[in-house]
Amino acid sequence: MKYKIALHRTDEGYSASVPGLPGCWSQGATEQEALENIGDAIREYLAARDDLLKGATVREVEVAS
């Protein structure tokens, strides 16, 4: 699965966030490290989300733009 990320240069290196996953962000000293770290953060975010959904009835809603 692919996610768009926002990558920003900072005084300490790079920060990365995932607009489609609120609160999912990471950082790294280099761009490559930030990309690796955000990959880990996405996996952890999705695992936590799946745990929160256990036992829930999940539906999808289509929204026209």
pLDDT tens-digit readout, 15-50: 999 999 999 999 999 999 999 999 999 999 999 999
Is position 43 within any domain?
Answer: yes
Q: How far apart are CA 41 and CA 35, in angstroms?
A: 10
- For 33, the token pair is 């490290």
Strands of 25-28's sheet in order across: 6-9, 14-17, 25-28
Total of domains in the chain: 1
Is position 21 within any domain?
Answer: yes
Mean pLDDT of 47-63: 93
Rounded to 10 degrees, the C-alpha dihedral 24/28/32/37 comes to -40
Q: What is the pLDDT of residue 8?
A: 98
Global confidence as pTM? 0.82
Is position 29 within any domain?
Answer: yes
Residue 23 sits in which domain range?
6-53
Q: Is the pLDDT of residue 65 over 90?
A: no
Confidence of residue 3 (pLDDT cuts 50, 70, 90): very high
- For 13, the token pair is 């290196």
Is position 62 within any domain?
Answer: no
Residues 16, 4: contact at Cβ < 8 Å? Answer: no
Is position 28 within any domain?
Answer: yes
Q: What is the pLDDT of residue 11?
A: 96
Is position 25 within any domain?
Answer: yes
Is position 36 within any domain?
Answer: yes
